[in-house]
Structure 1
Amino acid sequence: MKYSNREQAILLLADGTIFYGKSIGIEGTVFGEVCYNTGMTGYQEIFTDPSYYGQIMVASNAHIGNYGTNAEEIEADTIMISGLVCKNFSFNHSRVNSDENLKSYFEKQHLVAISDVDTRALVSYIRDNGAMNAAISTDGTSIEELAKRLAAVPDMKGLELSSKVSTKEPYYIGQPEAKYKIAALDLGIKKNILRNLAKRDCYIKVFPYDASYEDMKSFNPDGYFLSNGPGDPDPLIVAQETARNILEKNEPVFGICLGHQVIALANGISTYKM
């Protein structure tokens, strides 16, 4: 089989733990905080979720790739994870409405990925030892060199990442004649959130992560939405001030994920990394 001689790949954790596997993406080396997702389906949504920007994703589900990809199922226009770790990777897929196989998708998106790893053991290790930075290498880089470069990668604490994934300019979703108007602060918003708000008779104006309360108020919304996103909420000073103004005006506001944490900080409630 043409896939039988895949290049050996390595996953190196910051504490020195090593997992070996096979390359299923492009040749290269990537770094990021290692995290995991236990979802049984929806791998394309996970890979394109801006909340995972810059992280190395471990898929605990044993099989990845068996139903291919579909452009309608993305949460962002590009893959957001820096690398993928999985157990069994399927080069063949079966689904009527799939666009292409996952291998081709990885190559087009320039993703470094490793398979044939005992991901359930890896998930247990992360659970017991905590989140940490890691490296995936599929290009033959030595362990010594990987360890040296990995040591220089910053921790997630204190990292402001919303600016990396947020829209640069405001845009609209839905129909202007909809019943409700929502001002959404894009800290790393998923496409499906916007689709579902529009389905519920909302007209949404999406603002950049650093929009002020005055910017959002100018839309004359019925309510405000603070989105999901990557990184630490502490550095998002402008977003906290925007949320604080919304709360002080006693206007309707809803936040999820990073947006929820920003609202907590605006209320004087501290947050911490799990």
Structure 2
Amino acid sequence: MSYFKRDKRAYILLSDGTVYEGYNFGCEGTTIGEIVFTTGMTGYQEVLTDPSYYGQIVLQTYPLIGNYGVNNDDMESEKSWVNGYIVKEWCEEPSNFRTTATINDFLVKQGKIGIWDIDTRALTRKIREFGTMNGAITTEDVYEKKEALLEQIRNYKVVNPVQVVTQKKKGWFYTRENRANHVALMDYGYKHNILRMLLQIGCNVTVMPANSTVDDIRRLNPDGIMLSNGPGNPEDNVEIIKNIQDFIAYGKPIFGICLGHQLLALAMGGTTRKMKYGHRGLNQPVKDLSKDRVFITSQNHGYAVESIPEDVGTISHVNMNDGSCEGIAYKNIPAFTVQFHPEASAGPNDTGYLFERFSDLMERGQQGCL
């Protein structure tokens, strides 16, 4: 068991000066980030290792976290990307045959600061009312250093997150027998389960760094291009958006997820907006308009597509809670995108049919406009 003091005090300081008192788990120290909440009852290890959470302090609304421990198989990337972690209660003695460590052990190993035993309901309600805000977790005396820490919190900004989380080497290749198609997976912060799903449907996959150009893709001669999830404001990725416009002109089928959905919309003349507190969790109802059916989906995003030109694409999926855009089918190019995570793990996987749709689109090639 990792070194741990159950009675070590810790504090949350919000940008508006509000303080929440609790206890420390994981590492000690001070960390600053954008505080967001996620509503999943399971999947906390997937949350902690999802690159889309880079620069954020994650608040779990479900009161007990860590009851089935952590293991090496449920990692969505090679490390944890969160800036901090907030829970009501964490489990010291997890019970699951796959468990290799506790949530506290994991945070210590990853160098992450956590806080527990605060009123997570009150903090969630505050974010819902006032919107996502910057904050800090600290094990130091927050009252003594409050003004100096507040200045740091208010000045905090996530800078170049996609460039931080993307792999730096070009072209990792994953082979599979009886391959159906070769996919260039653009790594804007991809979750490993996207790769697993592509392999499952029989694809070979080459994972490409975020700044890869159309010349890099053309040398691969893939059957399709996957635009992955990732962190940050999509509008900040000016160079990547230009590269995606070149991918569109290249003409191969494209499937975008989460950030990839937003980036393709911007490349096609659409607009995006920052949401008040975003969608994060495993229980977001989304209607597939073509199927006239509602699916429960896994999501993690703080931005949404606001509009898309009518002659370019049509909205294919909508969020049943707030009516926001959850998917786009493009009219004159072989491409479609979704805001949610059809590869979700742990989470609902009813929308896994979208990977089959991508496979069919690659089989039809450039004739495959939706």
SS in 2 for 1:218: helix
The C-alpha deviation readout for 1:20-56, integer Å capped at 9, x for no partner, is 1100111100001011110010100000000001100
In structure 2, the partner of 1:127 is: 128
Q: Is the 8 A contact 1:28 1:138 kept in 2?
A: yes
Partner of 1:268: 269
Query: Aligned-pair distance for 1:122?
Result: 1.2
Shift of 1:7: 1.1
Matching residue of 2:154: 151
Q: Which runs of 5+ in 1 are unaligned?
A: none
1:74-93 CA distance string (max 9 Å, x none): 11111110000110111111
CA contact (8 A) 1:186 1:209 kept: yes
Instruction: Give the aligned partner of residue 22 of structure 1.
Output: 23
Distance 1:249 1:143 in 2: 53
**Could you tell me which residue of structure 2 aligns to residue 166 of structure 1?**
166
Deviation at 1:160, TM superposition (A): 2.5
CA drift of 1:104 comes to 1.1
User: Deviations 1:137-192 (Å, cap 9, x if unpaired)?
Assistant: 013343233213212212x5xx4211100010121123275111101110000111
1:139 alignment partner in structure 2: 140
Displacement of 1:238 after TM fit? 2.4
Q: Which structure 1 residue ranges, 4+ long, deviate > 4 Å from structure 2?
A: 2-5
Residue 109 (structure 1) aligns with: 110
Task: State the superposition RMSD in angstroms.
Answer: 1.6
SS of 1:272's equivalent in the other structure is: strand
- Give, in angstroms, the shift of residue 128 of structure 1: 1.1
User: 5 Å matches for 1:1-274?
Assistant: 5-141=6-142, 142-154=145-157, 156=158, 159-170=159-170, 171-175=172-176, 177-274=178-275
Which segment drifts farther, 99-108 or 2-11?
2-11
Contact 1:227 / 1:257 at 8 angstroms: preserved in 2?
yes
1:79-135 residue CA offsets vs partner (Å, 9 max, x unmatched): 110000110111111111111111111111111000011112211211110111110
The alignment partner of 1:192 has SS state of helix
| Secondary structure class of the residue paired with 2:271 | coil
Structure 1 contact 47–81 (Cα < 8 Å) conserved: yes
Determine the structure 1 residue equivalent to 2:330: none
Q: Percent identity?
A: 37
CA distance, structure 1, for counterparts of residue 5 and residue 176 of structure 2: 51
**Distance in 2, Cα, partners of 1:35 & 1:271:** 19
Q: Larger deviation: 85-94 or 168-177?
A: 168-177
Q: 1:205: how far off?
A: 0.5
Report the secondary structure of 1:123's partner residue.
Answer: helix
Q: How many residues align?
A: 270
Q: Work out the CA distance in 1 between the residues paired with 2:250 and 2:169.
A: 25
Equivalent residues of 1:55, 1:81 under 8 A apart: yes
**What CA distance in whole angstroms lies between the structure 2 residues aligned with 1:196 and 1:41?**
20
Partner of 2:315 in structure 1? Answer: none
Query: How far does residue 4 in structure 1 lie from its aligned partner after superposition?
Result: 7.3
Residue type of the partner of 1:265?
Answer: L
Residues 229-238 or 21-30, more deviating: 229-238
SS at match of 1:113: strand
Secondary structure of the equivalent of 2:134?
A: strand
Supply the AA of the counterpart residue of 2:83. Answer: S
| Deviation of 1:10 (Å) | 0.6
CA distance in 2, matches of 1:121, 1:184: 40
Check whether the contact 2:6–2:25 (CA below 8 A) recurs between aligned residues. no
Question: Partners of 2:201 and 2:41 in 1: how far apart?
Answer: 27
- Displacement of 1:3 in angstroms is 6.7
Give how far 1:217 is off.
Answer: 2.0
Instruction: Give the Cα–Cα distance (whole angstroms) in 2 for the partners of residues 6 and 97 of structure 1.
Output: 29
In 1, are the aligned partners of 2:4 and 2:25 still within 8 Å (CA)?
A: no
Q: TM-score, normalised by structure 2?
A: 0.70
What is the CA distance between 1:247 and its match in structure 2? 2.1
User: Which fold has the larger relative contact order, with Cα–Cα distance below 8 Å and residues 6 or more apart in sequence?
Assistant: 1
